[in-house]
Every structure is written in C-alpha cells, then in structure tokens.
Amino acid sequence: MLVYEFGGKSQCDGISKLQEILKHRSKNDSNEFELRTDSQYPFLTVLVKKEFACVHFFEDESDCGHYAYLDNHENIREEYIVFNMGSEDSETEISRDLIIPLKQAYIVAEDFFLTNKMSPQVKWFEL
C-alpha cells in the first residue's frame, strides 16, 4: 500500500510501518494521509489535527465517499475544527459531527490496510 502525506509518499508493507507513518506531523501538528491500494479505488484519507481526525473512504469512481463518525462527540468543544488539506498552507473546516478521536482513526486506517474496506469500528455517513 502507498501512503501519501505532506512530506511525500511511502511504501507501507505492514501495520507497524503504517503506525509509524501515521504519527508524522507538520509544524502545525497536522497532516493528511491518503492510503492507496494497488488499484485506483478504494482509498482512504485521514486528516489529522492534534488529537482529532476526519476519515473519508471512497469505494469506487462513482462513490462520493463516506465519512467516519461516532455518536458521542462531547469531547469536542468547538463546532468546527480547522484541518490542513492538500498542504500545510491549505485549510478546511470540518463539523465536529464528522470528527473522531485520533486513536479511533488509527484503528480505522489499520482495518483498511488489512481489508481494503470500511472499518466496522465506526459508523459511516454516506455523501
């Protein structure tokens, strides 16, 4: 699997390598990861900002995507979190309804690495 991030791309051949890559952060304590299989689809993106993440899964070309979410987001005080997307200089606001704890995002990414499917560990909102 290839993992793209702000710093470039890495070949990922195991869970331990994936875990190592997912800990990379920019000076803003953020990053964007794109996990790519050998095919164009499916793929998973993980936006990271401090202890929060936004995870987006794309099944195929006709799929607008699915966002991971949890019912309980009481630990997020703000209505929106600003994530860097595409580069450290580009920002987007994401509603707290579509933000999950970073530790949960790691589990979702590991599940995708193993199965190339959406993780059953979270709920998914289809766009």
Q: Where are the domains of the chain?
A: 2-126
pLDDT score at 76: 83
Tell me the C-alpha distance between 82 and 49, whole Å. Answer: 8
Element at 82 (helix H, strand E): strand 80-84
Cβ(53)–Cβ(105) below 8 Å: yes
Give tens-digit pLDDT for 42-86. 999 999 999 999 999 999 999 999 999 988 877 788 899 999 999
Indicate the SS3 state at residue 11.
strand
Mean pLDDT of 89-97: 94
pLDDT > 90: percent of the chain: 87
Tell me the C-alpha distance between 81 and 60, whole Å. Answer: 27
